[in-house]
Amino acid sequence: MYRLLHQSSYRTKYALNLKKELPRIPLTDDFWHFSKTGAKLADVHLNYESQAPYPLKMVENPNVPFTLKVEKMKLSKNKETLIYNNFLTLQGIPPEVFEYKLGNRSALEWVIDQYKVKTDKRSGIVNDPNKADDKRYILELIQKIVTVSLETVKLVKALNPVSK
């Protein structure tokens, strides 16, 4: 089932139904391939924090003091580079990363949007995703999300279309 929900042909064919009701499970000629790929996808997604960090090129700005604290990250226009903060830029983001979508944006774009310092207008409470006890957490999360996205795209592209 988990594999099916990631297959583009299924999501396109049943797009209207998926917006208003639970997914239906079609018959398939290759159940075991279907099942094993779904298990691999679920494992990659559930255990995303234990995935190997993708080796992005880290470019440091020598004119700014060292820090891994994030205020607000930003992608370059070509989406190959992530401006992590004033000190650090991450380069070499593969374009396939943006093929894995969570709703209408990629997993990496979702993390970039959520992991920023923001202040609630009504209460004034500051939400700071930086961890004092693990300064590398957000940096490593970005690298792991790249790995998860690439692995997801690879598994989904290897899927056979559902025929029935």
Into how many domains does the chain fold?
1
3-state secondary structure of 70: coil
Q: Which range has the worst mean pLDDT, 22-36, 92-106, 114-128, 132-146?
A: 22-36
At 73-113, the pLDDT tens digits run 999 999 999 999 999 999 999 999 999 988 789 999 999 99
Residue 108 backbone phi and psi in degrees, to 5: -65, -45
Asked, for residue 94, whether it belongs to a domain, the answer is yes
Asked, for residue 163, whether it belongs to a domain, the answer is no
Asked, for residue 66, whether it belongs to a domain, the answer is yes
Asked, for residue 12, whether it belongs to a domain, the answer is yes
**Amino acid letter, 12:** T
pTM equals: 0.82
